[in-house]
Amino acid sequence: MQNYKSPVRDTLFVMNELLGFEKHYEKLGFEDASPEMVEAIAAEAAKFTENVLAPINAVGDEIGCKWDDGVVTTPPGFKEAYKTYCEGGWPSMTHPVVYGGQALPYSLSSSIAEWMSGANHSWAMYPGLSQGCIATIKSHGSKEQKDMFLPPLIEGRWTGTMCLTESHCGSDLGMLKTKAVPNDDGTYSLTGTKIFISAGDHDFSDNIVHIVLARLPDAPEGTRGISLFVVPKFNVNAQSEVLDRNQVTCGSIEHKMGIKASATCVINFDGAKGYLIGPPNRGLNCMFTFMNTARIGTGLEGLAGTEAAFQGALAYAKDRLQFRSPTGIVNPDGPADPIIVHPDVRRMLLTQKAFAEGNRALAIYCMQMVDLTLYSENEEEKQVAEAKLALLTPIVKAFLTETAQEATSYGMQVYGGHGYIAEWGMEQLARDTRICTMYEGTTGIQAIDLLGRKILGSNGELLNVFIKEVQDYCRSVRDKSQFNAWSNSIESHIDEWGQMTQEIAKRSASNPDEVGAASVDYLMYSGYIIVGYLWLKMAVVAQQKLDEGTTEIAFYEAKLKTAGFYFARLLSRTRSHASAIETGAENLMSMPVDYFMIE
């Protein structure tokens, strides 16, 4: 099995060379995040992911989590890896110094999160969930709640979860039934059953802090009657000491296709003691604050799968000998040539590489926008970043996870039959990555969010903000004749994108189904253009470095070649999406439901 390597060089390329993170951090006042410091942290993170997380990835899949009478045991090595993680100070990176944090920027921690997922998707989910829980309490908790919960969570001594889904409602949270009844002491008693709770129970930490969506008595129906609660597994006092067991139990864990070392729990609340967080009935709004980062996080898991599958397929393609090159023997001393000589193997590898690097650029671009929304003191800059983030979040979530299905599938395909065998690790990657298009809002949900809520909902405003950036950039490289064809292609796509959007807006005014009918193709179409725009930018930067006489010739030449592949072979996928969008809703909606069934 190929050892996972954290893509340090490529991440730093995107941060420093493509997106100017040195200045970005300086401007936001992160003196501690100097390029040297970023590089040092990255090196440590790479060591941790490669030496601690990657080696326990296969055993995690093989043994999985065990549930016994309400107690969940994680696979061998998982608990120890979490201890190492905490000792390294990783949980506290981005949090306030006052609660024990290191006050480093979100983007730095988030870039590294990709590598943790790439080395071990299941393991990385536990700390990932904690971050969501911390963010919720940090933003919406009272002073007492923060004092009580944040220090142990930020230290990593406690972990957290997000409890949203119930068996009858996943996407449509308006139907949720868990009840919260006020107690005399200001706390609440929560009763209900939540499902699909990642990290819902395990053996990593002294306590588990659940963020729970529930209804107050007499709350209005639907999404406007949902409130947010903090419910710890063990009750705690104001000094963050763990007391007696709360009425929270893990009823079972799911048997899943993948991420088998991530405990996906049914959590039963039987009159469990909880604390209201944020205003009553505004729980969903509070939750939505973190939708962007949670969805970028899922996009990163997809990206991580793409990168790991690329690495695995590349290693095999260079090693496996089978047939001779169509253009002449390249390995005369061996019985056959390595399969990387075959054009179709290269097509798969380049697809993986182009997605890994292009999608990474998009993800880190989004992280930069998140930084601005969190830390910028310039109101206009903040608003522009918020607008871009609103547009890009559903794309980064869905495009990075959908393309990851293709990339991890190629990971297996390059291996031929061996790709199907567990010991090579490629089939685990495909299984683990498969969840990413489903949880944290399916691709369909992201697509409706993008086209319906964001683009049509803003009358195209959000699209225009981003389009302006791309158009300005394309104009700025017009004099670089080498990039004319690519830049023109992006510009004409941008025109088509705008026209297509207007066309859908017009149609949807008379038929609301037109939005859903176009949505997923529209999202994928948008993703290909945006990643194309970033590939153009990366190519321009790479050429500049080569012109300046860099010694890393292979790295920058590879960027140019991969950009060339992207523009030749991947961007043209917009043709099929555009064509499908054009056809409208009728071909989907005109068939009566009864006609679907074969018998």
Residue from the set 192, 302, 305, 419 that interacts with its own copies by CB under 8 A: 419
Lay out the site mask for its own copies across 26-65 (x = CB under 8 A, - = otherwise): ----------------------------------------
**Comparison of 282 and 418: residue with beta carbon closer to its own copies:** 418
**Comparison of 25 and 497: residue with beta carbon closer to its own copies:** 497
Q: How far is CA 521 from CA 182, 366, 433, 579, 590, in A?
A: 46, 21, 21, 9, 19
Q: Which stretch binds its own copies (CB under 8 A): 81-89, 129-137, 267-275, 576-584?
A: 576-584
Give the H or E element holding residue 181. strand 179-182
Residue from the set 48, 439, 483, 497 that interacts with its own copies by CB under 8 A: 439
Residue from the set 239, 327, 481, 551 that interacts with its own copies by CB under 8 A: 327
Q: Which stretch binds its own copies (CB under 8 A): 14-22, 281-289, 421-429, 488-496?
A: 421-429
- How far apart are CB 27 and its own copies at their closest, in Å? 29
- 509 lies in the site for its own copies, by CB under 8 A: no
Q: Which stretch binds its own copies (CB under 8 A): 69-77, 151-159, 285-293, 415-423?
A: 415-423
- How far apart are CB 301 and its own copies at their closest, in Å? 13
Q: Which stretch binds its own copies (CB under 8 A): 89-97, 314-322, 467-475, 479-487?
A: 314-322
- 220 lies in the site for its own copies, by CB under 8 A: no
- 8 lies in the site for its own copies, by CB under 8 A: yes
Which residues does 154 contact at the CB level (< 8 Å), separation at least 6?
91, 92, 95, 99, 100, 101, 134
Residue from the set 318, 475, 478, 506 that interacts with its own copies by CB under 8 A: 318
What CA dihedral angle connects 334, 408, 76 and 294, to 10 degrees?
Answer: 150
**Comparison of 237 and 590: residue with beta carbon closer to its own copies:** 590
- How far apart are CB 437 and its own copies at their closest, in Å? 7
Please say whether the beta carbons of 426 and 411 come within 8 A.
Answer: yes
**Comparison of 438 and 505: residue with beta carbon closer to its own copies:** 438
**The Cα angle at residue 436 between residues 430 and 442, in degrees rounded to 5:** 135
**Comparison of 97 and 554: residue with beta carbon closer to its own copies:** 554
Residues of this chain, 166-205, that bind its own copies according to CB under 8 A: 168-172, 175, 196
Q: Which stretch binds its own copies (CB under 8 A): 37-45, 291-299, 376-384, 413-421?
A: 413-421
Question: Where does residue 417 rank: exposed (0-12), middle (13-18), buried (19+ CB within 10 A)?
Answer: exposed
Q: Enumerate the H helices of 266-378 as residue ranges.
A: 283-288, 291-319, 343-375
**Comparison of 185 and 599: residue with beta carbon closer to its own copies:** 599
Residues of this chain, 454-483, that bind its own copies according to CB under 8 A: none
The span from the CA of 304 to the CA of 296, in Å, is: 12
**Comparison of 214 and 465: residue with beta carbon closer to its own copies:** 214
Residues of this chain, 366-405, that bind its own copies according to CB under 8 A: 405
How many CB atoms lie under 10 A from the CB of residue 457?
Answer: 14
- 580 lies in the site for its own copies, by CB under 8 A: yes
Q: How far does CA 596 lie from the centroid of its chain?
A: 34
Residues of this chain, 132-151, that bind its own copies according to CB under 8 A: none
Q: Name the residue among 394, 518, 521, 445 with its Cα closest to residue 170.
A: 445
Q: How many residues bind its own copies (CB under 8 A)?
A: 103
Residue from the set 181, 243, 421, 509 that interacts with its own copies by CB under 8 A: 421
Packing angle between helix 343-375 and helix 106-119, nearest 10 degrees? Answer: 150
Residue from the set 45, 148, 266, 447 that interacts with its own copies by CB under 8 A: 447
Residues of this chain, 527-566, that bind its own copies according to CB under 8 A: 554, 557-558, 561-562, 564-565
Packing angle between helix 291-319 and helix 121-140, nearest 10 degrees? Answer: 160
**Comparison of 93 and 199: residue with beta carbon closer to its own copies:** 199
Please say whether the beta carbons of 520 and 443 come within 8 A.
Answer: yes
- 363 lies in the site for its own copies, by CB under 8 A: no
Q: Is 440 a residue of the active site? A: yes
**Comparison of 134 and 563: residue with beta carbon closer to its own copies:** 563
How many CB atoms lie under 10 A from the CB of residue 267?
Answer: 26
The span from the CA of 236 to the CA of 154, in Å, is: 16
Helix, strand or coil for residue 201?
Answer: coil
- 7 lies in the site for its own copies, by CB under 8 A: yes
Q: Token pair for residue 598? A: 């074969």
SS (H, E, C) 9-56: HHHHHHHHHHCCHHHHHHHCCCCCCCHHHHHHHHHHHHHHHHHHHHHH
**Comparison of 169 and 374: residue with beta carbon closer to its own copies:** 169
The span from the CA of 30 to the CA of 33, in Å, is: 5
Which one of the listed residues 87, 440, 548, 586 is annotated catalytic? Answer: 440
The span from the CA of 290 to the CA of 38, in Å, is: 25
Please say whether the beta carbons of 191 and 179 come within 8 A.
Answer: yes
**Comparison of 237 and 510: residue with beta carbon closer to its own copies:** 510
Check residue 214 and give left, alpha or beta (phi > 0: left; psi -120 to 50: alpha).
Answer: beta
- How far apart are CB 202 and its own copies at their closest, in Å? 19
- 444 lies in the site for its own copies, by CB under 8 A: yes
Residue from the set 27, 157, 179, 256 that interacts with its own copies by CB under 8 A: 256
The span from the CA of 189 to the CA of 180, in Å, is: 5
Q: Which stretch binds its own copies (CB under 8 A): 73-81, 125-133, 332-340, 490-498?
A: 332-340
The span from the CA of 391 to the CA of 446, in Å, is: 10
- 513 lies in the site for its own copies, by CB under 8 A: yes
Residue from the set 409, 489, 501, 526 that interacts with its own copies by CB under 8 A: 409
Check residue 309 and give left, alpha or beta (phi > 0: left; psi -120 to 50: alpha).
Answer: alpha
How many CB atoms lie under 10 A from the CB of residue 224?
Answer: 13
Q: Token pair for residue 337? A: 């040539």
Q: Which stretch binds its own copies (CB under 8 A): 208-216, 439-447, 458-466, 497-505?
A: 439-447
Active site residues: 440
